[in-house]
């Protein structure tokens, strides 16, 4: 079964609904340049600490990881190849061409999973731009660690993405929003149903 992460959560109501739907992981953006940045929301961070230990809570960074912000989280996600932690490390990767396959070994070193997102010159992620699925399928086949597919996934296309790419998990943010950082609960439900049925 394909696992599921709902990312870019900015408030407790959306995060609780993601849990109710059965999401395996919840992502909270700590990158200040993102419109989904949660900042120092004490109530939300206290709630994250209370999440059941069987659910992974992910602190999402851009290129630099702040260890002092990892308190309540069980995993971290970053583009930084040097990110080391006592928590699970998800290495974000934005492949631009087939030559990316040559980078796999270095990218996977020290990481527990690899997250594929679409390259965008002005943003680290959450742009709604789709990853090249053919390229992604090749990376899944060649990676020595689990691969998470992100980038432009929606309730309408996620089942096809799973069939074509065969990732261990999928990650959605903008594909279930009515605006950046605000989740549409109907789209969240439809996305989860599509993943579970794929």
Q: For the chain, list the domains and their CATH numbers.
A: 3-197 (3.20.20.70)
- Among residues 71, 66, 24, which one has the least CA distance to residue 48? 71
The helix (H) or strand (E) run that includes residue 148 is strand 147-149
Q: Which residues are known catalytic residues?
A: 7, 117
Longest Cα–Cα distance of the chain, Å, equals 44
Cβ-count burial 71-97 (b if 16+ within 10 Å, e if not): ebbbbbbbbbeebebebbbbbbbbbee
The mean predicted confidence, pLDDT, of the chain is: 89
Tell me: the pLDDT tens digits for 19-52? Answer: 999 999 999 999 888 899 998 888 898 999 999 9
CA–CA–CA angle 39, 43, 44 (5° rounding): 60
Tokens at 129, concatenated: 């731009």
pTM of the complete model: 0.91
Rounded CA-CA distance 51/132 in Å is 34
pLDDT of residue 125: 54
3-state helix, strand, coil in the chain (%, to 5): 35, 20, 45
User: Is residue 117 a contact partner of residue 125, using CB atoms and an 8 Å limit?
Assistant: yes
Tokens at 96, concatenated: 């631009």
pLDDT of residue 51: 95
Tell me: the pLDDT tens digits for 140-195? Answer: 998 999 999 999 999 999 999 999 999 999 999 999 999 988 999 999 999 999 99
Tell me: the pLDDT tens digits for 110-142? Answer: 899 999 988 655 555 556 778 889 999 999 998
Query: Quick check: 109 pLDDT over 90?
Result: no
On the CB side of 38, CA atoms within 13 Å amount to 27
Q: How far apart are the first and last CA of the chain?
A: 9
On the CB side of 2, CA atoms within 13 Å amount to 27
pLDDT of residue 127: 63
Query: What's the pLDDT band for 100 if we cut at 50, 70, 90?
Result: low
Rounded CA-CA distance 26/19 in Å is 8
Query: Quick check: 81 pLDDT over 70?
Result: no
Return the residue matching tokens 């149903």.
193
């Amino acid at each position: 079964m394909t696992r599921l992460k709902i990312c870019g959560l900015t408030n407790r109501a959306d995060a609780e609904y993601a849990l109710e739907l059965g999401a395996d992981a919840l992502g909270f953006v700590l990158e200040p340049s993102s419109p989904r940045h949660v900042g120092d929301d004490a109530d939300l961070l206290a709630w994250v600490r209370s999440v059941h230990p069987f659910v992974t809570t992910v602190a999402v960074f851009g290129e630099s990881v702040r260890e002092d912000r990892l308190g309540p989280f069980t995993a971290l996600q970053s583009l930084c190849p040097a990110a080391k932690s006592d928590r699970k490390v998800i290495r974000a990767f934005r492949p631009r061409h087939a030559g990316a396959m040559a980078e796999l070994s270095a990218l996977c070193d020290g990481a527990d999973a690899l997250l594929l997102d679409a390259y965008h010159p002005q943003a680290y992620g959450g742009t709604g731009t789709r990853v090249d699925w053919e390229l992604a399928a090749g990376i899944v086949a060649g990676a020595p660690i689990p691969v998470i597919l992100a980038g432009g996934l929606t309730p309408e296309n996620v089942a096809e993405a799973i069939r074509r790419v065969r990732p261990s998990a999928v990650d959605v943010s903008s594909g279930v929003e009515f605006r950046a950082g605000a989740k549409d609960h109907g789209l969240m439900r439809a996305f989860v149903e599509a993943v579970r049925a794929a």
